Amino acid sequence: MDSFFVAAKAVLPIFLLLLVGVFVRYRKMLTETELIRVNGFVFKVFFPFLMFYNIYTSDLSANLDARLIAFAVCGVLTEYALAVLVVCRIEKSSRSRGAMIQALYRSNYVLLGLPLVENICGSGGLGAAAVISAVIVPLYNVLAVITLEVFRGGKVRPGRILLQVVRNPLILGALAGVLSLLLKIDYPDVLLDVAADLSGASTPVALIILGATFNFAALKKCGRNTVICTAGRLVVVPALAMTAAALLGFRGDAFVILLVAFAAPCAVSSFTMAQQMDSDADLAAGSVVLTSALSVATIFLWIVLFRNLGMF
């Protein structure tokens, strides 16, 4: 019963915020254009402050777990390699291949992972979670640009990839937090209060917007490939990754951070990138919608399972 309550406490707030977003869409409080703009605002303003504040207010030396970082990076690279092998074997269309690979390896860790870590571990786990985010988010972006460029028949430009990574708002926020700690910059309380407010607002606003962007009509256009991406993203990837994590001895907060990183649904930004780089945008949108909707249940079950197994 204890495991049930831990899982419910972690997942229920996220589910309710998504429902608020669905209600916003149902009542047509925001147009499609406004949703895109608000989502961009959250990504470019709120999320950088979330990354900055979580890192700046944490003990960086205590949160730089080289073993945890190495596992996260190796895990992402492994799931990416497996996704490429499987997708290239079962899907003939290059346009769909890029969208499928991205859906399988790229999780919505920042949007759903960080609040889940806080709900399960408390604020003490956010520092390490933010550090992991600062490492794997650039990796996600680099792999996405390379993948979508290759499968649309384009030429991979290292300079362009580096520029996209450097200009990513999440990376800028994380770098600002790390540099501020290393340089021991002592910001006035009034500035930190503003950063804390913006950081605190990022998750609820982002989740509401995510719920409001659910377009279940997109699922009708995707069929088999959406089901494959959803099963892979929510079941196969976390099963493989967390089995490896358990065998390697990860426990407690570290296990939770890895769990939410590998069990989170498809990243919302994967749809935007697929759309911008001539990939299968309908498939990308369907994968985001279906994995986001079902992840509430699958993450709940993963938490109950691993809690009962004594992993955290």
Task: Specify the pLDDT at position 206.
Answer: 84
Task: Specify the pLDDT at position 103.
Answer: 95
Residue 153 has pLDDT above 80, yes or no: no
Residue 219 has pLDDT above 80, yes or no: no
Q: How far apart are CA 283 and CA 82, in angstroms?
A: 19
Choose among 102, 104, 156, 110: nearest CA to 135: 110
Task: Specify the pLDDT at position 57.
Answer: 86
Task: Specify the pLDDT at position 286.
Answer: 85
Round to the nearest angstrom and report the end-to-end CA distance of the chain: 15
pTM of this structure: 0.85
Task: List Cα–Cα distances, 50 to 55, 131, 181, 203, 237, in angstroms.
Answer: 9, 12, 15, 9, 27
Q: How far apart are CA 21 and CA 24, in angstroms?
A: 5
Amino acid in the structure at residue 129: A
Task: Specify the pLDDT at position 305.
Answer: 96
Give buried/exposed letters for 286-309 (b at 16+ CB in 10 A, else e). bbbbbbbbbbbebbbebbbebbee
Residue 62 has pLDDT above 80, yes or no: no
Mean predicted confidence (pLDDT) in 215-237? 85
Mean predicted confidence (pLDDT) in 244-249? 97
Task: Specify the pLDDT at position 161.
Answer: 75
Radius of gyration of the chain (CA): 19
CB-count burial class (<10 Å; 0-12, 13-18, 19+) for 117? buried
Residues contacting residue 248 through CB under 8 Å, at least 6 positions apart: 71
Helix, strand, or coil here: 166? helix
Structure tokens at 78: 């492994």
Structure tokens at 293: 């909707």
pLDDT digits (tens, 9 = 90+) for 92-140: 999 899 999 999 999 988 878 888 898 898 877 888 888 898 889 889 9
Mean predicted confidence (pLDDT) in 253-264? 95
CB half-sphere exposure, 259, CA atoms < 13 A: 28
pLDDT digits (tens, 9 = 90+) for 161-215: 777 777 878 788 888 988 998 899 999 999 999 999 998 888 888 889 888 877 7
Q: How far apart are CA 287 and CA 268, in angstroms?
A: 9
pLDDT digits (tens, 9 = 90+) for 38-59: 888 888 899 889 889 988 887 7
